[in-house]
Amino acid sequence: MLTIIFGIISNYCVAQKVITLYPEKTPNQKITTSAPDNNNDDNSVYSRVSNPTLTLYPGNKTSVKKTAVIICAGGGYAELNIKREGYAIAEAFNKKGIAAYVLKYRLPDDRTNINKAIAPLQDAQQAIKIVKDSAEKWNIDPNKIGIMGFSAGGHLAATLGSHYDDVLIENDNKISLRPDFMILIYPVISFRALFGHIGSRDNLLGKSPSEKSIDYFSNELHVNKKTPTTFLAHAGDDKIVNVANSLKFYEELQKNGVTSELHIYAKGGHGFGLTPTFDEWFGRCILWLNNM
């Protein structure tokens, strides 16, 4: 039985159900009692997370089984912009009849993690395991469960989609941890020097990572024919995460015959999720989901 806690967290102050990812012991944690999560006054940004949770946005009740999206906010693996790139996006999905689940994943921290590099991925794996295991109860189509991420959250989503067979959590029932689709918005894809986002790399892997670690977390190197179909959106003038991240990932998807969709906008910079361009890219995302 999952532990349930409640919180007032959405833009409209609607009480949402929040479940802890690990009802007993959090894996890969150094201390038995984790430190409190640091957040600002309105819970919109977390600067430290050691208590991972999943916030449920099931949407309106319906007899039809729904598509579900697990959402990973960005923040360079240093923080989580969870209101702007999490709760608000979940509400938008609900308006389209899609269930959404906002993942508050652990931020890499040597003080609380034995191996900080794998903590976010463990949480993403646990989140999709929970949603798949609860599909019948939550009226979700078990074949339409995807992952979404913004910026570094996009890196986490893409890492799950690239390394779903590298099981880092307890999974006695051998539930498939493969997302059925990915939605990557101005994502960090690569950690390689040519176009990767070094800030996210440093926060996840440390200042002097091995080449093996860099390659493992450079997701463009791990695309194959089983990689989930993907929707990508990026701005060509993004000065923080080079648009080459999305271009290269899409190129590899095409090489491997994975039908996907890419939208590059001339302007928008980084973090355009809820700017005036929202209706444009989100509308295209919904159209893609409907046409898949």
What digits encode the pLDDT tens for the residues 122-139?
Answer: 999 999 999 999 999 999
**SS3 at position 25:** coil
Q: What CATH number should be reported for the domain whose range is 26-291?
A: 3.40.50.1820
The whole-number pLDDT of residue 240 equals: 97
CB neighbour list of residue 207: distance below 8 Å, 6 or more residues apart? none
The whole-number pLDDT of residue 33 equals: 52
Please work out, in degrees rounded to the nearest 5, the angle formed at the alpha carbon of residue 92 by the alpha carbons of 229 and 7: 110
The whole-number pLDDT of residue 34 equals: 56
The whole-number pLDDT of residue 259 equals: 95
Q: Which two tokens stand for residue 28?
A: 């890969």
Does residue 9 surpass a pLDDT of 70? no
Q: How confident is the model at residue 15 (pLDDT cuts 50, 70, 90)?
A: low
Contact 19, 2 (CB under 8 A): yes
Does residue 98 surpass a pLDDT of 90? yes
DSSP code of residue 274: T
Amino acid at residue number 180: D
Domain ranges across the chain: 26-291
The whole-number pLDDT of residue 186 equals: 98
Sign of the C-alpha dihedral computed for residues 84, 87, 91 and 92 taken in this order: positive
Pairing mode, strands 261-265 and 229-235: parallel
Question: To the nearest whole number, what is the mean pLDDT of the chain?
Answer: 92
The whole-number pLDDT of residue 8 equals: 32
3-state secondary structure 254-273: HHCCCCCEEEEECCCCCCCC
Angle between helices 198-205 and 152-162 (to 10 degrees): 70
The whole-number pLDDT of residue 48 equals: 87
Q: How confident is the model at residue 292 (pLDDT cuts 50, 70, 90)?
A: confident
Report pLDDT digits (tens) over 220-272. 999 999 999 999 999 999 999 999 999 999 999 999 999 999 999 999 999 98
Does residue 287 surpass a pLDDT of 60? yes
Q: How confident is the model at residue 277 (pLDDT cuts 50, 70, 90)?
A: confident
The whole-number pLDDT of residue 13 equals: 38
Contact 142, 130 (CB under 8 A): no
Amino acid at residue number 92: A
How far is Cα 49 from Cα 172, in angstroms, rounded to an integer? Answer: 26
Q: Out of 44-48, 55-59, 221-225, 248-252, which region has the weakest mean confidence (pLDDT)?
A: 44-48
Backbone angles phi, psi at 104, to 5 degrees: -95, 90
CB neighbour list of residue 68: distance below 8 Å, 6 or more residues apart? 98, 99, 100, 101, 131, 135, 138, 140, 141, 144, 145, 146
Q: What percent of the chain has pLDDT over 70?
A: 91
DSSP code of residue 191: -
Q: Which two tokens stand for residue 144?
A: 């339409």
What average pLDDT does range 83-112 have in this prediction? 96
Radius of gyration of the chain from Cα atoms?
Answer: 17
The whole-number pLDDT of residue 257 equals: 98
Q: Give the distance, in angstroms, between the CA of residue 281 and the centroid of all CA atoms in the same chain.
A: 17
Q: How confident is the model at residue 278 (pLDDT cuts 50, 70, 90)?
A: very high
Report pLDDT digits (tens) over 145-178. 999 999 999 999 999 999 999 999 999 999 999 9
